């Protein structure tokens, strides 16, 4: 059916940057559309025997009042796949993301967070959704031109600008340089560097020199510098790290002398904040599997004598630590997109912390883990969502979990205003698509 065109009515937003419609009784995931629109679609994936189809809206017959002209000329059907919602006003983008989070938590965890809103991350991009992405991996064509991949494709859209990237990323010259012999190039605009750095990714699978970048994080009267590999993980929005750290510390409210866990600690962002909060009489155990990130964490936390950094899988380290009699008053859980999983959630709850702050980049993984936590006696008592990725479908959530006995009278604040296994991520996405198709109106 690929290439077939038809008219249809667009329904609710789905998890993944599309809206849901029906064609002859079959579910269709429609990109470049908005709820309530009537559009002409072109099928991009699927056949007569498939449970659902994917399509692009190639013509808008009845437009949503929230539709705008995409600011980027490369956004649209068959073009760059880096953004999902450039055709929606920024406030409506956040409404769509909030709807996705609410639906996922309701369906997968039975949780009602009806009043949830998605809040902007203050700073660059908060008002127009542009100029915020500090880390971009560009793909390279066979001719050596840099660009961005099209949606669900290996094809490269050659571009001369990327409006969601920071200007230092573009001013690095990455899009004007010939990258013969490369499959891609990473560009990193770290807050502690004067210029963006470029790391070529060679066609033979090797990479160029991977320099250490310096990221500076500060909020209120707290500030810290973090070394991180240019190709390592760091939040791509310049205001995200400080926003998330401040929110986690506020939710957990650590006090002097407490014991804390920072799981999937990366280069030590949350561990540093926890360390200062629990003081010299407290203790922080930071756990990370990636060896290079651990090296940076050891350097970043060298002056924090109350922090212990351990390398290894979180479940393995937690099992060993539990046998050694570890205690935990508060926990920060910042897993990869696939989530923490039942085993890790079980290990955390067995330690009996008074509070767990869960930082989630995928609402479906968060919902699955929250459902497990409730089975094990921990309830969701607070939830905030942040738009750290404007123009895309991604949303960051920070959830507070507390023991059921202490949280029985607590409710999620309805007035709030606003990567261990990539294969596992793909499987989860496939499962999500199937479930969305089954539940589509």
In this structure, are 290 and 338 located in the same domain? yes
Percent of the chain with pLDDT over 70: 92
Pull the structure tokens for residue 400.
């507070």
pLDDT at 436 over 70: no
Q: Is residue 259 part of a domain?
A: yes
Each residue's pLDDT tens digit, 304-341: 999 999 999 999 999 999 999 999 999 999 999 999 99
Residue 405: CATH number of its domain: 3.40.50.150
Residues of the domain holding 29: 1-67
In this structure, are 260 and 364 located in the same domain? yes
In this structure, are 238 and 186 located in the same domain? no
Q: Is 64 in contact with 34 (CB distance < 8 Å)? A: yes
Q: Is residue 220 part of a domain?
A: yes
Is residue 433 a known part of a binding site? no
Q: Is 42 in contact with 3 (CB distance < 8 Å)? A: yes
Residues marked as catalytic: 361
What is the mean predicted confidence (pLDDT) over 99-113? Answer: 98
In this structure, are 261 and 344 located in the same domain? yes
* CB-based contacts of 427, cutoff 8 Å, min separation 6: none
What is the mean predicted confidence (pLDDT) over 227-241? Answer: 96
In angstroms, rounded to a whole number, what is the distance separating the alpha carbons of residues 408 and 279?
Answer: 30
In this structure, are 333 and 297 located in the same domain? yes
**Per-residue confidence (pLDDT) for residue 220, from 0 to 100:** 87
In this structure, are 59 and 152 located in the same domain? no
Is residue 358 a known part of a binding site? no
Q: Select the more confidently predicted residue: 47 or 34.
A: 34
What is the mean predicted confidence (pLDDT) over 378-391? Answer: 98
Is residue 334 a known part of a binding site? yes
**Per-residue confidence (pLDDT) for residue 25, from 0 to 100:** 87
In this structure, are 224 and 362 located in the same domain? yes
| Helix/strand number for the chain, H first, E second | 10, 20
DSSP string, 56-122: EEEEEEE--TTB---SSTT-STTSB-S-S-TTB-HHHHHHHHHHHHHHHHHHHH----TT--EEEPS
What is the domain count for the chain? Answer: 3
441, HSE (Cβ side, Cα atoms, 13 Å): 10
Picking from 184, 211, 238, the residue at the C-terminal end of a domain is 211
pLDDT at 175 over 50: yes
pTM as predicted: 0.90
Is residue 180 a known part of a binding site? no
pLDDT at 268 over 70: yes
DSSP letter (8 states) at residue 209: -
In this structure, are 186 and 152 located in the same domain? yes
Each residue's pLDDT tens digit, 203-215: 999 999 999 999 9
**Per-residue confidence (pLDDT) for residue 49, from 0 to 100:** 85
In this structure, are 378 and 404 located in the same domain? yes
pLDDT at 411 over 50: no
């Amino acid at each position: 059916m690929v290439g077939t065109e038809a008219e249809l009515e667009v329904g609710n937003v789905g998890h993944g940057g599309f809206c849901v419609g029906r064609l002859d009784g079959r579910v269709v995931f429609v990109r470049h559309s908005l709820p309530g629109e009537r559009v002409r679609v072109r099928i991009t994936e699927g056949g007569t025997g498939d449970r659902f189809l994917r399509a692009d809206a190639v013509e808008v017959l009845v437009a949503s009042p929230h539709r705008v002209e995409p600011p980027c000329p490369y956004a649209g059907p068959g073009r760059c796949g880096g953004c999902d919602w450039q055709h929606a006003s920024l406030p409506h983008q956040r409404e769509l993301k909030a709807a996705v989070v609410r639906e996922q938590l309701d369906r997968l965890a039975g949780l009602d967070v009806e009043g949830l809103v998605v809040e902007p991350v203050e700073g660059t991009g908060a008002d127009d959704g542009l100029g915020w992405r500090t880390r971009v991996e560009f793909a390279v064509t066979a001719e050596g031109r840099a660009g961005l991949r099209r949606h669900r494709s290996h094809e490269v859209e050659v571009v001369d600008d990327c409006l969601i990237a920071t200007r230092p990323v573009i001013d690095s010259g990455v899009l004007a340089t010939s990258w013969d012999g490369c499959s891609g190039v990473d560009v990193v605009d770290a807050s502690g560097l004067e210029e963006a750095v470029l790391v070529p990714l060679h066609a033979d699978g090797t990479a160029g020199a991977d320099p250490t970048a310096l990221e500076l994080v500060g909020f209120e009267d707290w500030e810290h510098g973090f070394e991180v590999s240019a190709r390592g993980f760091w939040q791509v929005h310049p205001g995200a790290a400080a926003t998330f750290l401040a929110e986690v510390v506020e939710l957990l409210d650590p006090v002097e002398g407490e014991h804390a866990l920072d799981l999937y600690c990366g280069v030590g962002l949350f561990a540093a904040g926890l360390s200062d909060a629990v003081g010299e009489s407290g203790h922080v155990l930071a756990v990370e599997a990636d060896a290079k990130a651990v090296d940076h964490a050891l350097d970043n936390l060298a002056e924090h004598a109350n922090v212990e950094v351990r390398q290894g899988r979180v479940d393995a380290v937690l099992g060993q630590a539990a046998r050694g009699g570890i205690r935990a008053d508060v926990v920060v859980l910042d897993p990869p997109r696939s989530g923490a999983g039942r085993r890790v959630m079980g290990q955390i709850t067995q330690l009996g912390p008074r509070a767990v702050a869960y930082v989630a980049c995928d609402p479906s993984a968060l919902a699955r883990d929250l459902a497990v936590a409730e089975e094990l006696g921990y309830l969701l008592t607070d939830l905030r969502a942040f738009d750290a990725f404007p123009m895309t479908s991604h949303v960051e959530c920070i959830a507070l979990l507390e023991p059921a006995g202490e949280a029985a009278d607590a409710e999620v604040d309805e007035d709030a205003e606003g990567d261990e296994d990539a294969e596992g991520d793909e499987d989860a996405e496939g499962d999500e698509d199937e479930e969305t198709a089954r539940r589509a109106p």
